């Protein structure tokens, strides 16, 4: 157990230092093997690689299509359009709630967590600036919306964390709806009020918004497409997966196809977006295999 914990620490520290997960993951696996009394070479060539190949064979199409779907949503401006609309709806006074909901809706619609962060972050900075809220709360706010209840608890979420257990427990994406909704409410509402409490504490101490050194991150270039059209691909993935009970691969393909149809005038940039999404799926797959 200590070896597993040490391996996770090595993984997190090296990743935080900017090392590529492509070779950080085998290093962390080697730490686990050595502390577990296993032969290092055999553990890597047989145990680790066998598990990697088996997992990749089953789940790589989902990782790849999910990453492409998210990258297309980002590059076409659809993800930004949804985030902007929700943020405006909440208003400056509820900046934390606006950022939280924007992240949650995008994640629940099937967009990759990594894409959600990049889509929401510039808008979140602008909202926190107007509301004079400390930027220290920004990572926690985005993480609460994207990395918690929409990723693991809400029934029907197309995120991989909800899909992997399906063949092992013989369930579907909507399994345990009551337990999932209750858990989501505890995480979402509890987390939101905790952030509000921390905001009041920091404001009382005089900790307010401070401009980042790189102000270019605040600039959001290009016009955003219609929000109602932007949300259609997300609804397509959710409906085809949970109502029509299509396989997640087909559901994601349907969402990708709809994005391409709705943005037919931007077809020249699609190849670049698809290539970037496919490349990013390798990193996501390696992270998931290590976990």
pLDDT digits (tens, 9 = 90+) for 249-284: 999 999 999 999 998 877 667 788 787 777 766 666
DSSP per-residue codes, 238-285: HHHHHTS---HHHHHHHHHHHHHHHTGGGGGGHHHHHHHHHHHHHHHH
Domain map (residue ranges) of the chain? 1-12+21-65+278-291, 77-262
Read off the pLDDT of residues 49-64 as tens digits, 9 standing for 90 and up: 787 777 777 878 888 8
Read off the pLDDT of residues 107-157 as tens digits, 9 standing for 90 and up: 999 887 777 887 888 888 888 988 999 999 999 999 999 999 998 899 999
Task: Supply the pTM of this predicted model.
Answer: 0.79
Per-residue pLDDT band at 241 (split at 50, 70, 90): very high
CA 5 to chain centre: 24
Question: Comparing C-alpha atoms, which of 192, 239, 235, 242 is closest to residue 73?
Answer: 235
**What integer best gives the mean pLDDT of the chain?**
85
| Mean pLDDT on 193-208 | 94
* Range list of H helices, the chain: 2-16, 21-35, 40-42, 49-75, 78-90, 95-108, 113-131, 138-146, 149-152, 160-163, 166-169, 177-204, 227-230, 232-242, 248-262, 270-290
Per-residue pLDDT band at 97 (split at 50, 70, 90): very high
Read off the pLDDT of residues 17-44 as tens digits, 9 standing for 90 and up: 888 777 787 888 888 888 888 887 887 7
Give 178's contacts (C-beta < 8 A, 6+ positions apart).
none
- How many Å apart are CA 206 and CA 268, to the nearest integer? 49
- How many Å apart are CA 247 and CA 155, to the nearest integer? 16
* Cβ–Cβ under 8 Å, residues 164 and 66: no
- How many Å apart are CA 151 and CA 103, to the nearest integer? 11
- The contacts found for 279-282 with CB under 8 angstroms, 24 or more apart, are 280/67, 280/71, 280/112, 280/114, 281/60, 281/63, 281/64, 281/66, 281/67, 281/68, 282/22
* Cβ–Cβ under 8 Å, residues 245 and 158: no
Any idea what DSSP says for residue 222?
S
pLDDT of 4 higher than 80? yes
pLDDT of 79 higher than 70? yes
Angle at 147 between CA 171 and CA 221, to 5 degrees: 125
Per-residue pLDDT band at 206 (split at 50, 70, 90): very high
């Amino acid at each position: 157990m200590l070896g597993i914990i040490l391996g996770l620490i090595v993984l997190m520290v090296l990743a935080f230092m900017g090392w590529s997960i492509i070779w950080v993951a085998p290093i962390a696996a080697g730490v686990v093997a050595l502390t577990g009394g296993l032969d290092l070479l055999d553990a890597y060539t047989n145990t680790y690689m066998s598990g990697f190949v088996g997992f990749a064979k089953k789940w790589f199409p989902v990782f790849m299509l999910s990453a492409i779907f998210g990258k297309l949503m980002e590059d076409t401006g659809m993800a930004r359009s949804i985030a902007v609309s929700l943020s405006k709806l909440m208003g400056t006074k509820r900046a934390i709630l606006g950022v939280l909901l924007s992240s949650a809706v995008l994640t629940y619609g099937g967009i990759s967590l990594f894409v959600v962060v990049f889509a929401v972050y510039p808008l979140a900075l602008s909202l926190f600036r107007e509301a004079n809220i400390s930027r220290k709360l920004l990572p926690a706010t985005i993480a609460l919306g994207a990395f918690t209840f929409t990723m693991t608890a809400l029934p029907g979420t197309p995120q991989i964390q909800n899909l992997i257990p399906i063949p092992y427990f013989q369930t579907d994406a909507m399994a345990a709806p009551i337990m999932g909704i209750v858990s989501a409410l505890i995480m979402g509402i509890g987390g939101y009020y905790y952030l509000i409490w921390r905001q009041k504490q920091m404001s009382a101490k005089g900790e307010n918004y401070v401009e980042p050194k790189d102000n270019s991150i605040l600039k959001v270039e290009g016009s955003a497409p219609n929000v109602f059209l932007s949300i259609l691909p997300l609804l397509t993935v959710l409906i085809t997966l949970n109502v029509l009970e299509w396989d997640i691969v087909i559901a994601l393909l349907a969402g990708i196809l709809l994005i391409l149809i709705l943005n037919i005038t931007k077809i020249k940039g699609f190849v670049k977006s698809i290539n970037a999404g496919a490349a990013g799926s390798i990193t996501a797959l390696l992270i998931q295999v290590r976990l």
